[in-house]
Amino acid sequence: MSGRLAPEGPPVAAAAAPPRARRRGRARLGRWYNPIGLVGAAIVLFVILVAAFGNQVWTIDPDAQEYERLLAPSWTNPMGTDELGRDILARIIHGARVSLQVGLISVSIALVFGTALGLVAGYYKGVTDGVLMRVVDIMFSFPGLVLAILIAGLLGPSRRNAMIAIGIIIIPVFARVTRGAVLEVMGFPFIESARALGAPGSRIMRKHVLPNIVAPLTVLVTVYLSVAILAEAALSFLGLGTQPPEASWGSMLNTSRAYLDFAPWYSIFPGAAIMVVVLGFNFLGDGLRDVLDPRLGPVVGTAPPRE
């Protein structure tokens, strides 16, 4: 008899079970399985939860001067305090709300006006297309941030004016992408069928064209939310966005420059917050692009086949 024992069957099957379970989970997600997109969605969801419920968990007033100046991070103040003795964590939480508000409103402005311009230009073509696209080209000729600074400076420093300025500089992007998508859809047979049946142009745009360009617009909104948040931080850094004493990540970075040598945490935390939020929206936008674009989705976003 040999002293060696034959390997048992159940442990081998049990060891093989987790990979199969993971593959089944991926298969259930189908084409929506995209690791980068899921990471971005988790980051964005976390930021939304912080903005919505953070002040209920961390109840310190972001404007209250209750502590000593420039305290290092501790159990009482996990991110330290600023030059006026205000809790940095409370101000970071409030800054998340400000950034999301500015991002959503400014991108909504660009979505509404940019989509309208691109839709009209792509549908009617000809002189209308030429005039509208030349206006868009003129706006593209200016650096985006410089144009935002100019508009915000003319309107006056405030969060509302910063949202308007950011929305205006993003409009050309939405107009150009919408026009390209509309021109592609206009070549489909159902558009010719609707025209042959006598449907007016407004109905064709609303019922047939617009629903077929939702995918690229969804990706564009997600990506440019990060651009809008970054632009708001830049304008606040320059004093043209959210005004003191209200907390904003950009204004916090501006103030922290004077204390960088002996209070580095003051600039690290708002800078890290901006980086994480922008990275999350970029990851989510890349994931949505891979999933919604038929030329990329089957390669990048498709889960492994079922066994």
C-alpha span between 65 and 22 (Å, rounded): 50
- pLDDT tens-digit series, residues 288-302: 888 876 554 443 334
C-alpha span between 83 and 6 (Å, rounded): 71
Average pLDDT over every residue of 106-131: 93
- pLDDT tens-digit series, residues 236-288: 999 999 998 899 999 999 999 999 888 999 999 999 999 999 999 999 998 88
C-alpha span between 294 and 161 (Å, rounded): 38
Instruction: Give the pLDDT confidence score for residue 16 in this predicted structure.
Output: 47
- pLDDT tens-digit series, residues 188-218: 888 888 888 888 878 888 888 888 899 889 9
Going by C-alpha positions, the residue among 212, 225, 221 that lies closest to residue 274 is 225
C-alpha span between 26 and 95 (Å, rounded): 36
CA dihedral 267, 254, 95, 162 (to 10 degrees): -150
pTM of full prediction above 0.85: no
Average pLDDT over every residue of 89-100: 95
pLDDT for 307 beyond 70: no
Give the Cβ contact number of residue 154 at 10 Å: 9
The token duo for 145 is 């941030």
Average pLDDT over every residue of 161-187: 93
What would be the CATH architecture of the domain defined by 35-58+78-300? Answer: Orthogonal Bundle (1.10)
